[in-house]
Copies of this chain bind each other. A is one copy, B any other.
Amino acid sequence: MRLIIVDNQTEKEQEFYPGDHLLDVLLQSSSGIHTPCGGRGTCGKCRVEILGIGHVLACQTILSTELIDRAARPLTVILPGTVRAQISTEGMLPDISLRPSVYKGMAVLAEPTIDDQRPDDERFEAATGLTIPFGLLPNLPLVLRRTDFQPSYYGLISQNGKPGRVLRFISADAPNPLGLAVDIGTTTLAAYLYDLETGQRLAADSALNPQSGYGADVISRIDRATESAEQREALRASIGRAIVDLAKNLLRDGAVGIGKSLVLDDIVHYVLTGNTTMLHLLAGLPPEAIARAPFIPVSRRLQTLTAAELGLPVAPDALCQLLPSIASYVGADITAGILACGLLDQKPETGSLLIDIGTNGELVAVGPHGAVACSTAAGPAFEGANIRCGIGGVQGAIDAVRWDGKILSYTLIGGLGHGADRQLARGICGSGLVAAVASLLDCGLIESTGRITDQSDQLPSELQERIITISGQPAIVLAPAAASANGEPIVLTQKDIRELQNAKAAIAAGITLLMSKAGLAAENVGQVHIAGGFGNYLDVQHAFRIGLLPEELRNRTRTVGNTAGMGAVLCLLNTERMEQARAVVDQVDYFELSGEKEFTELYVNAMMFPENE
């Protein structure tokens, strides 16, 4: 039988026999799985997820027929550090030195005498440099005297890097303080649990944003929050609960990894990022003015609060920091991305770009004239919306279309399968859409104007037959009815192509304008970072093929995954990065594309697809 092994977006197949040890099968596939305990089931390092069953220790698991029956088909194992298709927590982390905001300490104080009558607070503060907030003073005398004046505590680093205040008094054998970085996307939450003493990542996972029930995009969320204070509170509470649920899952996962139990109270630092609307909703701030011109947020500041102040239902003394946003439509997720990509760390003569493509395309350019950012109303085409057969990045979505010069083929998320395990196509996701148009341009079914060709008689018959008419409009069949889950062919309509043209033109024009604002010529661009959930699955070569990205930037462009999450992690692990984040808003000039005259002309020019090479 065959086992599919998913290891950070890549899939392998491995033969096995029912009754085999899962660990053995994984080791045969050279999965790089570690078993420091020698397979005794104690170290937890071989913890994997079997789709349909859940997390198991590979060394303790036999691939019995019973297990195979219970599992999802095809039998799939997801390795640790890996995430499920299309919900990505991964991204590239730059090298980072550990300087957490919260640390564990023990002070050794001189005991008071008649010649040293300093009050308890001054005695502690002189020894540690930490102030004691008023709320902790009532317990201070007991804490000092029970520990023979050797209290243990979680301490907080202040803004200038010096000791700040006590966060909590703890017992001498208390666990290491934990931190959670959370990226609150409109659709998806991604969270990362760290040990703040060792810098070790204990777990990472993602979950759907439960606010999706209140509307798919930020505007519908804003509308809902504006209906009443109760609705705003409902949205605030729902995101809070989702963060807690995700945190508890990560604590459970992390506990398996380190072999001891972890509880919510152990998390003492939360770094929260997301777009400006999501952070307004999290903080209970009215987002109404974000939605209407002139698009004004209540605040874009770095907020440093206790969980009690934020109203997050976790340890009330936990430090919660909401990363700063740049503008209503260039949020803290972009601030975090700027940090994660080191955009502002480079020499001024080296330019770089950050391109985060989702419902909106947020763009940042750094060049000789400084750092500039804008948001393009790309439309939701890249997320599969407003596309006839568009769906999200789910199992069964066409995620790639290939033209090898003879045959047009596609792949599905979860694989095509074979025989009894054959999977049917359910639709086309954003990266599939870009890949499809790129391949259809290559094979000639789509002309560079975007028109579905009316000269298909000059094409091979395999291609000719793909052109059909739906409601009087031409369309191209990607998967025939027989290969489709609902029995209808999966098609790309002329209108779908126009949607994509609009979306890609907005981004391409935005990039061109932004580079000009930053004083950045294409030849001086050092690195182009493609970020965001969609960016992560995008084939960069397809992006160039359809003109989403200017041709001149090819060879300097890489996808960088969830830079928002990675930036939040940086701020969690290093206070200096947090100070960088605080300063980003003053370093980046936001401009409103709708206020720019050149934009319309650039946009029209960018509608065309590049000619065949």
Contact = CB atoms under 8 A, between A and B. Distances in A.
Interface of A: 112-122, 132, 134-135, 137-138, 140-142, 283-286, 288-289, 293-301, 303, 305, 309, 327-328, 590, 592, 594-595
B305 A114 contact: no
A285 B138 contact: yes
A286 B138 contact: yes
A141 B283 CA distance: 14
Given A142-B286, A283-B137, A286-B141, A114 B299 contact: no
A296 B135 contact: no
B121 A299 contact: yes
B595 A115 contact: yes
A135 B299 contact: no
Quick one: copies of this chain in the complex? 2
B114 A296 contact: no
Given A114-B294, A285-B137, A286-B138, A119 B300 contact: yes
B114 A284 contact: no
A457 to B, nearest CB: 51
A595 B286 contact: no
Contact of A293 (B114, B119, B296): B114
Contacts of A120: 289, 296-299
A141 to B, nearest CB: 5
Nearest to A139: B286
B592 A114 contact: yes
Given A141-B286, A309-B135, A113 B298 contact: no
Nearest to A132: B299
A120 to B, nearest CB: 5
Contacts of A284: 138
Contacts of A142: 286
A119 B299 CA distance: 5
A298 B119 contact: yes
Contacts of A117: 294-296, 327-328, 590, 592
A111 to B, nearest CB: 9
A134 B309 contact: yes
Nearest to A327: B117
Which of A117, A293, A305, A328 has the largest number of chain B CB atoms within 10 A?
A117
Contacts of A285: 137-138, 141
Contacts of A592: 114, 117
30 contacts: A112-B289, A114-B294, A114-B295, A116-B294, A117-B294, A117-B295, A117-B327, A117-B590, A118-B296, A119-B299, A120-B289, A120-B296, A121-B299, A121-B301, A122-B299, A122-B300, A122-B301, A134-B283, A134-B305, A134-B309, A137-B283, A137-B285, A137-B298, A137-B299, A138-B286, A138-B298, A140-B298, A141-B285, A141-B288, A142-B286
